[in-house]
């Protein structure tokens, strides 16, 4: 009897540093109010770069310009009977100023610019361990060229 194929959740995250501070969002989660990198899920038909630009705009009202891939991360969330594996693609880059009149995504309370020390001591409020891991890797200078990720817009069609 065939079993369902395993499919991890693919997510993207933005690591944005300005003047020694990192851009985070404060958001409602099932565990309460938590801190996270601007992040979200890859939508059908999107490239990873399109997804991270869209997610940052939705969560911060700022346009994001990706400059490099910081890393690819695998994580697992267990909540009751729920067991989800994630593949996170974290990009670093820059943001412009918030777009006037643009609302933040549902669940996002506000954006924050925090120092690494403030982020590290708030670990109990992190949405996942990946928040700090991505920032630590960014601070360590991890950067991979964006062309490492090949996106092909063609669609495979099978008869």
| All domains in the chain, ordered by first residue | 9-146 (3.90.79.10)
pLDDT at 155: 66
Span 126-146, pLDDT tens digits: 999 999 999 999 999 999 999
Report helix, strand or coil for 139: helix
Span 105-128, pLDDT tens digits: 999 999 999 999 999 999 999 999
pTM of the predicted model as reported, rounded to 2 decimal places = 0.90
Q: Which residues contact 18 (CB under 8 A, 6 or more apart)?
A: 94, 95, 113
For residue 154, pLDDT beyond 70: no
Q: What angle do CA 117, 105, 134 make, to 5 degrees?
A: 30
> Taking the chain, what is the end-to-end CA distance rounded to the nearest angstrom?
25
Whole-angstrom CA distances from 100 to 53, 63, 92, 96 are 18, 12, 24, 12
Span 66-79, pLDDT tens digits: 999 999 999 887 77
């Amino acid at each position: 009897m065939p079993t369902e194929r395993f499919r991890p959740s693919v997510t993207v995250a933005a690591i944005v540093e300005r003047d020694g501070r990192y851009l985070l969002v404060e958001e409602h989660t099932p565990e309460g109010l938590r801190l996270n990198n601007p992040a979200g899920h890859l939508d059908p038909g999107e490239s990873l770069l399109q997804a991270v630009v869209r997610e940052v705009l939705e969560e911060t009202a700022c346009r994001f310009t990706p400059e490099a891939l910081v890393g690819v991360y695998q994580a697992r969330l267990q909540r009751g009977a729920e067991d989800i594996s994630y593949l996170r693609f974290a990009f670093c880059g820059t943001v412009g100023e918030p777009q006037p009149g643009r609302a933040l995504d549902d669940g996002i309370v506000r954006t924050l610019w925090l120092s690494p020390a403030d982020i590290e001591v708030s670990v109990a409020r992190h949405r996942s361990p990946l928040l700090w891991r991505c920032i630590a890797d960014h601070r360590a200078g991890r950067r991979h060229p964006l062309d490492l990720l090949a996106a092909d817009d063609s669609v495979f069609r099978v008869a």
